[in-house]
Amino acid sequence: MSRTKKIAVVTGAGRGIGFETARQLAKRGMKVVLAARDPEKGRAAAATLRGEDLDVDDARLDVTSDESVREFARHVDKTYGRVDVLVNNAGIMIDGKTAGANSVTRTDVETLRKTMETNVYGALRVTQALLPLMPRSDARIVNVSSGMGQLSDMNGGWTGYRLSKVSLNALTRIFADELKDTGIRVNSICPGWVKTDMGGSNAPRTTEEGADTIVWLATEPRVPTGGFFRNRQPIPW
């Protein structure tokens, strides 16, 4: 592996937007670490991309587990020595699986806890663990959020998911402020409603469209820090 090749880590990359993000970053000449909770799915996904002559490795990562995150960070450090791009894509949307759960008046608090554990604390764990490996020059952290987390356009329903994405956006702003003098840029992105297992078959956007702004934030030389973007344009928090 060339020591000049940038290293990108994409979490939740076994399928959907994460998988397509891994593909697009690899097409731009990066070495991509495709991180997935299910090791079999991760291996299969990475093999598919290697079949396209892309430089992709797989690694197991459960963002809800402190030990898994620590082991992943040790593996990345030992194998690659640094991380230039981190895409916190791992996420779940489990509201609605119990009766009345889509109403805030009857939300199951345990559902909220599980959602926050993956969507917020997972991103926090992984960022904290990999931050020491990120060069203080032009590294990027991209948090995959959602328009459902916009306070400026907040509606009812899907309480756990909405709360988690609001919190992930806050985490973006906190990291961006604390790292503003390091050269590491931290941003949130709304991919839109995308055809994935989560988004469903009626969604109007492809995974390629959903990944586009993520890859732009990870590679464009002139992006700012501490912003929220959709279609490569800033959107209100």
Known catalytic residues?
Answer: 161
Q: What per-residue string of b and e applies to 133-153 under the rule 16 or more CB within 10 Å gives b?
A: bbeeeebbbbbbbbbbbbeee
Q: How far is CA 40 from CA 37, 107, 171, in A?
A: 9, 33, 31
- Neighbouring residues of 76: CB distance < 8 A, sequence distance ≥ 6: 7, 9, 33, 59, 83, 130, 133
Beta-carbon count within 10 A of 116 CB: 16
115: number of Cβ within 10 Å:
24
What is the C-alpha end-to-end distance of the chain, expressed in Å?
A: 40
For CA atoms 190, 191, 196, 200, the dihedral sign is positive
Tokens of 23: 């593909």
Amino acid letter, 29: G
| Residue pair 125/117 in contact by the 8 Å Cβ criterion | no
